[in-house]
Structure 1
Amino acid sequence: MPIDPDLAIGADLGARTFSWDPSDVLLYHLGIGAGWRPGDQVDEAALRWTLDGPGLQVLPSFGVVAPTFHETDPPPLDLPGCDIDLAQVVHGSQSITVHAPLPPSGSASVSTRISDVWDKGRAAVIWQEATATTDDGTALWTTRSSIFVRGEGGWGGERGTSATVELPDRAPDTETSYAVTPQQALLYRLCGDRNPLHADPAFAQAAGFPAPILHGLCSYGIVLRELTEQLLDGDAAAVGGFTARFAGVVFPGETIGVRGWREGDRVVASATVVGGGRDGSPVLADCVLDLA
């Protein structure tokens, strides 16, 4: 069996040390579309994302990619008990909880384990949890993510749970959009994700897509940035965490529409493709931005 849950669940994936600096933060922010609006290059608030110096802030989603930011190889899938192929895999969901505002430079170590493996019948879902800490043991952030492995279910294991986020029955507090550039995935892959699914047309077609697709984590960052700019006055420190399920794909050149609602100590949101032949197609679902 390609996936052996007895070996996989609870497996320690080890620890790794990493560091980052303002150049990494700036590249990440540009990769998720910061500074795209006319006039942003001279707007003090917008330059908090794109200009190094004392005003530079860090969007919390940077913590998701920081440990692997300097990787130049496709992401490895040598997970204990999981004999799977990269072409079978898409990102299922992602969350990050930050324990304090992220600094624009620093170093940390991250420890990761496989927390769950779910059997969805025609697919498997593999969950990983990771915590990044400083040298003195201070927790910086915690992530939880899942990958969806097509064609690897059916062994009779636990199906897992699902938590649907209900959207309010009222007009959203913000409704905005971002036009994904044709080269967006080629830029974002420089943030440490060289999966050929996002750059190589032949690989994408072999995986069942007509063309390379945008990284799910790029859509994740775009949506979080738009919500932060529109509802939190662009203050990254106001974000305590962000969770989303990857509900569909985005092709470079399409437009992502974002709707968000303030609900007490959180923002709930959704993201869909806007316009074109796939108008209304889901991008992110069950989105929750927790306030710090």
Structure 2
Amino acid sequence: IRASNLGDMMKFGAAFDMKKARALAEAEASAGEGAPSARPSAEEVIDQAFALLPQVFVPERAPGWEAAIVFDIQGASPWTVRVSGGRCTTERGRAEDPTCVVTVDRDTYAAVIRGEEKPEKAFLAGKIRATNLADMMKFGAAFDMKKAREVAERHRTQGSTASTPAPSVASGGDPAAQVAAAFDALPGAFRPSAVPGWEATIRFEVRGAGEWTLVVDADGPRVTRGAAGEPTCVVTTALEDYARVVTGELKAEQAFMQRKITASNLGDMLNFGRAFDMRAVQEHLRGNAAASTAPPAARPEPSAPGGMNRACIGNTYSGEEPQFVRPEDARRFAEATLDDNPAYGGDGAGTLAPPLFAVRLLKDVVFRAVGDEELGADLLNLVHAEQDMRFLRPLRTWDLCATRATITDIEDKSSGQLLRLSESVLVDGEEAVRVAASMFVRAPNRGERPRERPPQEPPPEREIAFRETVTVPPDHGSRYAEASLDNNPIHTDEEVARLAGFPGIILQGLCTMAFAAKALVGRTANGDPARLRRLAVRFSKPVFLGDVLETRGWVLDPLPDGSSAYGFEVVNQAGEAVITDGRAEVAPA
């Protein structure tokens, strides 16, 4: 696909819901095969949505939230949503003690519920108004409206046609049945050549459902209900979370990074991920209720086990939803990078966000790229190698941003592979931040002695223009994880970090880069982050909690447009460089 106007193409992608278009096309096609179902009225849609809200409430997304929100819907009955004690209730009518009143007309809110209009755009256009913005933000986070639409549509179609087939195991219903069916399907999804010689006894402790034991040995895999034998690995998870994993709603890697799945033996978990084709299990579950009870057929394993699939070079991924630069998120990011620049402190629209806030916006789309099952990257052996960010315009609060990422190259190295990505943050269809990033995927250690690194050349003599020191707080991995959404457990969990081969929790490389950005903005741009045009680094050594880091900068030749250029590095308390090849470009005042 080629386009003469990239801005129009980006807006086209944001403005049209192609997933809904496919669903409507499928509905029209199926309607031709039977009696057509009437489209429910706007008021029916609204009433059904409020009735379903308690079913799609996710209390973990808004812990401690207490609210009474009145929806004053012009042209329809008002509704009250109450949240208290981790529970949600709804009732028709107006509460006498609302914490927030939402005003919207009937047709607009019905369009939002159906997915025909984005709530963020309706809010910005003044079609939805609220007296308490904080409650509205928490409402948007705490309810799974996509699930609500799916449940409502399923109820509608089941009520409108007598011949509606029963939902499959994966499409709705009992999480316990989903998990049990997935364990039954595991042996058929085994790919033995992916992990030659691997033997293990893995016990799955699924809270709310019980235990299963998976044994892999010379006779192949077998699964039994309950605890059996002496486990080499114990996997702990909750029923709802594991049901989402086996049905494909949640990636296993993402669940692990969010600590929704924990394991006592990281090696066995990595081998499990390589050896069992969970996509085949998911496909089997989706067809389970449609008469097919045959075991799943595992897809062939990659031709080079452990290596990334070069066929993915050129793949482009887009963020699922546009994202606002929310003032509270920008402030939290600044606090988590120990940046007290007053430029980031405002609540109104248009306040500057820290330059590296872009990595929070890009997190999900980058994870979609590196976590693509077809790519086959070993996420728990993946480390950030290089990051080169160009700031074409500063990000400001309440910017509505789209994101995309492209796999541009895969390079073989002596001890692993280098994955290169191109990433973008777009505002109103125009590129605001452009990133060239590389990730190094370490090859599994198969007992070979590591190659000795040649001694580093001493750095050239430089005239240091500025120095700035920061001490990494003891809880900083968790603080930055919360603010940036980079929740890989090697940054938050001592045990996982050790299992991954580190002596302790390591700090996110991009947090170290943000420390350097703070120093550079303060020392070279007179505290004005809008003047920072480029920041590029190479991550050379891990940073640990408690380390004392010093950013050292020096002046380079100016650019033809009058911008200043600086080189820099970050060293730890032992004088070891943790960031090298740093380069910053700063626009004139």
1:126 aligns with 2:419: yes
Aligned 1:38-187 pairs, distance under 5 A: 46-52=341-347, 56-68=351-363, 75=367, 77-79=370-372, 81-135=374-428, 137-151=429-443, 169-187=461-479
Q: Aligned-pair distance for 1:5?
A: 4.3
Greater strand fraction, Structure 1 or Structure 2: 1
Larger Cα-atom Rg: 2
Determine the structure 2 residue equivalent to 1:273: 572
Runs (5+) with no aligned partner, structure 2: 1-303, 446-457, 559-563
> Is the Cα contact below 8 Å between 2:325 and 2:396 reproduced in 1?
no
| Partner Cα distance (1:139, 1:85) in 2 | 30
Structure 1 unmatched ranges of 5 or more:
36-45, 154-165
Contact 2:361 2:403 survives alignment (8 Å): no
The residue number in structure 1 matching 2:216 is none
CA distance in 2, matches of 1:130, 1:193: 16
User: What SS is found at the alignment partner of 1:61?
Assistant: helix
Structure number having the greater helix percentage: 2
CA distance in 2, matches of 1:283, 1:22: 31
CA drift of 1:223 comes to: 0.7
**One-letter amino acid matched to 2:414:** G
Structure-2 separation of matches of 1:215 and 1:4: 23
State yes or no: 1:32 paired with 2:32.
Answer: no
Contact 1:124 1:152 in 2 (8 A): no
C-alpha distance 107-168 of structure 1, shift in aligned 2 (>3 A): farther
SS of match in other structure, 1:234: coil
State yes or no: 1:248 paired with 2:541.
yes
Distance 2:469 2:576 in 1: 14
Q: List aligned pairs for 1:205-244, cutoff 5 A.
A: 205-244=498-537
- CA deviations over 1:231-273 (Å, ceiling 9, x no partner): 2211101100111011111111111111011222211100010
Q: Following the alignment from structure 2 to structure 1, what is the Cα–Cα distance between the partners of residues 393 and 568? A: 23
RMSD over aligned Cα atoms:
2.5
Which whole-Å CA distance do the structure 2 matches of 1:55 and 1:117 have between them? 39
TM-score when scaled to structure 2? 0.42
Contact 1:244–1:286 at 8 Å: present in 2 too?
Answer: yes
Counterpart for residue 262 of structure 1: 555
Distance 1:168 1:204, change over 3 A: same
Contact 1:198 1:212 in 2 (8 A): yes
Report the CA distance between 1:10 and its aligned residue: 1.0
Shift of 1:110: 1.2
The percent identity for this pair of structures is 24
Q: In the alignment, is the contact (CA less than 8 A) between 1:19 and 1:67 conserved in 2? A: no
Conserved 8 A contact 1:3-1:152: no
Which string of whole-angstrom CA distances, capped at 9 and with x for unpartnered residues, describes residues 261-286 of structure 1?
12222111000102xxxx01221111
Under a length normalisation based on structure 1, what TM-score does the superposition of the two structures give? 0.82
C-alpha separation between the residues in 1 aligned to 2:506 and 2:406? Answer: 28
Partner Cα separation in structure 2 for residue 226 and residue 175 of structure 1? 8
- Residues 4/196 of structure 1: CA separation in 2 closer, same or farther (3 Å cut): closer
Q: How far has the Cα of 1:168 moved from its partner?
A: 6.8
